[in-house]
């Protein structure tokens, strides 16, 4: 089924003229009400040079008062217009400032056509290359490069050709199948809707013609997919609603529901509030099955003939959107459609230089940086490569503490090791092992500053447990850094990996039925949250050893504070690196209180 809506994204650097260009396009195609046009003759941006009584085209796409006051575009503004063939064009005006790249990336993920503006008076800038790179990663089908403001340079052909040559060199490394270059002036209207009389040397399409001539790529012949968005229930009725992708469904088709892998047949299809015999790609429908099966929001419906390859390991490209860097080994929430699962970036393979296309080794990604990563999810997912399906190949990463969206990702492929590993259950399990020892297996996670007393308290607690015939083990941060974690430093990324490894070892020891005491600084709340997520309810007890930094410095049992003060340890927690106090610890003990009293408090939550 051919798309009835075409989505156009406009992007580029600040002041390249995006809002003005869209405004003129809307006015010259009679897509703006008369009274709205009249209002733009009366309102002026701060510092505007447009004469009174003339149209300020840029105001037609501004949605925030702050944008008019600052003379920039902050949010993504949306407008629509009708095309000659009856389709509806949805225009997204993305912000040009670097700090709003996240807005542009989200709009690009849905765009069919990308309109990238270049200010001819300033040439190609970093943000231009970043936007082209994002268009490539996000699968934008056609890119129109509009070289704007040529009226300010006498409409010189040589300037247009120089900019085109520069960009073609950069575009040669990007996966953009269809690129059109157009010289124009948004302010004067040259080559926007009608042919320019000032640039008779250009014989190509106008902007409107380039948009009108776009056609969607031929769809791959494949099996239908639908992710359940809503379970509809009524008397004697249960339907599963969603949008069809990658094919079609017919009544009597045999389908499979993932992850339950149950097979059934479609008995009824409802679209547009009426029963139909079949539905095609991109249609919103409700499916009714012949038999009652276990299916819920987020589950996947596919043809029973399709071979699914669920995996919990993926290679992906990611655009980082947050001012706090992406940390390797830190856990985030991965959202794909209505599916949500914890996920860890296990490896940052490289970051992409938007200027050269080169790949640079990296251990983190900063805001607006683009990189290639490997991701491990807690549950298997049936994601496809983004090049095959935007719907089933995209995801976002969300911070587990703030629930802010921090990254936008595109799946390249699943990793085979994620498909070939199956969890093996054993009859002698954690419960049996703990029962044999007449105890409840759990981990006591002691966190606090260096010198706060974590190891001293852990040692005293274990002595008391041993005296009572209980089976325990202490995982000490420094001891593990002499062996298992000897390769790790003290950067945020290395600390995240340090906590990840320690928590995985603790999980194995808890599975063995032991009481595990962990004495480790673990300065970041997100890493401690991830550690806790590995354990069953009640198995993870977070104990905050709350000792004032002044006392820790005075104690300085290992001489580390003195070294840090002299600049010898740049990432030392409490001096060169932040310690994030636990938000909701299960227990707080004072490192400067009586040791026996602190031990007794901890024993009460163990025994």
Report, as residue numbers or ranges, the catalytic residues: 522
Q: Around 176, how many Cα atoms within 13 Å sit in the side-chain half-sphere?
A: 28
Q: Rounded to an integer, what distance in angstroms lies between the CA atom of residue 202 and that of residue 185? A: 13
For residue 57, what is the DSSP state? G
Cβ(299)–Cβ(241) below 8 Å? no
**How far apart, in whole angstroms, are the C-alpha atoms of residue 246 and residue 222?**
6
Instruction: Check whether the bond before 305 is cis (ω within 30° of 0).
Output: no
Quote the CA–CA distance of 194 and 28 in Å, as a whole number. 9
Chain position carrying tokens 């791959």: 220
Tokens at 414, concatenated: 């699943």
Question: CA neighbours within 13 Å on the CB side: how many for 495?
Answer: 18
Residues forming beta bridges with residue 543, ordered by sequence position: 446, 587
Q: How far apart are CA 297 and CA 492, in angstroms?
A: 36
Q: How far apart are CA 95 and CA 109, in angstroms?
A: 15
CB-based contacts of 57, cutoff 8 Å, min separation 6: 19, 20, 21, 22, 23, 24, 27, 40, 186, 187
Q: What's the CA gap between 51 and 158, in Å, rounded? A: 31
Residue 520 token pair: 């480790």
Burial 67-97 (b: 16+ CB within 10 A, else e): bbeeebbbebbebebeeeeeeebbbbbbbbe
What's CA 479's distance to the chain center, in Å? 36
- Structure tokens belonging to residue 56: 């300020």
- Bridge partners, residue 270, by sequence: 275, 286
At 199, list the tokens.
């640039």
The answer to whether 552 touches 450, Cβ cutoff 8 Å, is yes
CB burial readout 541-553, b (16+ within 10 A) else e: bbbbbbbebeebb
Pairing of strands 370-381, 326-327: unpaired
């Amino acid at each position: 089924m051919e798309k009835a809506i075409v989505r156009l994204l406009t992007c580029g650097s600040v002041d390249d003229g995006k809002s003005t260009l869209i405004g003129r396009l809307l006015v010259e195609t009679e897509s703006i009400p008369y009274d709205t046009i009249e209002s733009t003759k009366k309102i002026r941006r701060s510092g505007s040079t447009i004469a009174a009584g003339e149209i300020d085209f840029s105001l037609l796409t501004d949605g925030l008062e702050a944008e008019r006051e600052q003379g920039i575009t902050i949010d993504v503004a949306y407008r629509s217009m009708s095309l000659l063939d009856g389709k509806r064009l949805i225009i997204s005006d993305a912000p040009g400032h670097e700090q709003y790249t996240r807005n542009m990336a989200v709009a690009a993920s849905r765009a069919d056509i990308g309109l990238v503006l270049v200010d001819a008076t300033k040439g190609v800038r970093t943000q231009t290359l970043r936007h082209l790179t994002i268009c490539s990663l996000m699968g934008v089908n056609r890119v129109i490069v509009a070289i704007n403001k040529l009226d300010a340079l006498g409409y010189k052909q040589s300037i247009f050709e120089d900019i085109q040559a520069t960009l073609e060199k950069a575009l040669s490394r990007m996966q953009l199948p269809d690129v059109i270059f157009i010289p124009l002036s948004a302010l004067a209207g040259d080559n926007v809707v009608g042919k320019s009389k000032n640039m008779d040397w250009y014989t190509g399409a106008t902007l409107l013609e380039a948009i009108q001539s776009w056609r969607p790529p031929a769809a791959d012949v494949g099996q239908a997919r639908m992710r359940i968005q809503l379970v509809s229930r009524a008397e004697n009725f249960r339907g599963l609603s969603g949008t069809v992708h990658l094919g079609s469904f017919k009544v009597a088709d045999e389908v499979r529901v993932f992850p339950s892998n149950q097979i059934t047949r479609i008995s009824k299809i409802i679209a547009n509030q009426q029963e139909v015999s079949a539905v095609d790609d991109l249609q919103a429908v409700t499916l009714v099955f012949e038999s009652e099966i276990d299916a819920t929001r987020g589950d996947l419906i596919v043809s029973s003939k399709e071979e699914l390859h669920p995996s919990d390991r993926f290679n992906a490209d990611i655009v980082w959107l947050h001012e706090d860097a992406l940390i390797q080994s830190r856990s985030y929430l991965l959202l794909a459609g209505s599916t949500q699962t914890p996920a860890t970036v296990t490896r940052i393979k490289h970051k992409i230089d938007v200027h050269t296309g080169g790949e640079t080794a990296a251990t983190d990604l900063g805001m607006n940086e683009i990189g290639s990563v490997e991701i491990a999810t807690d549950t298997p997912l049936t994601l496809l490569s983004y090049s095959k399906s935007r719907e089933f190949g995209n995801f976002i990463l969300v911070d587990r503490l703030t629930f802010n969206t921090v990254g936008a990702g595109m799946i390249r492929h699943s990793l085979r090791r994620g498909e070939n590993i199956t969890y093996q259950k054993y009859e002698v399990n954690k419960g049996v092992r703990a029962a044999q020892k007449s105890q409840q297996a759990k981990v006591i996670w002691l966190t606090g500053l260096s010198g706060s007393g974590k190891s001293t308290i852990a040692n005293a607690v274990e002595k008391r447990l041993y005296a009572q015939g209980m089976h325990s083990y202490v995982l000490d941060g420094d001891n593990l850094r002499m062996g298992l974690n000897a390769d790790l430093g003290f950067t945020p990324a290395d600390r995240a990996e340090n906590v990840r490894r320690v928590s995985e070892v603790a999980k194995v020891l808890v599975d063995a039925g032991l009481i595990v005491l962990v004495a480790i600084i673990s300065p970041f709340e997100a890493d401690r949250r991830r550690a806790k997520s590995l354990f069953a309810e009640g198995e993870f007890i977070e104990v905050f050893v709350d000792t004032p930094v002044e006392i820790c410095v005075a104690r300085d049992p290992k001489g580390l504070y003195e070294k840090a003060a002299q600049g010898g340890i740049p990432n030392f927690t409490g001096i060169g690196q932040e310690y994030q106090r636990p938000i909701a610890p299960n227990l707080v003990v004072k490192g400067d209180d009586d040791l026996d009293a602190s031990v007794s408090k901890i024993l009460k939550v163990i025994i």
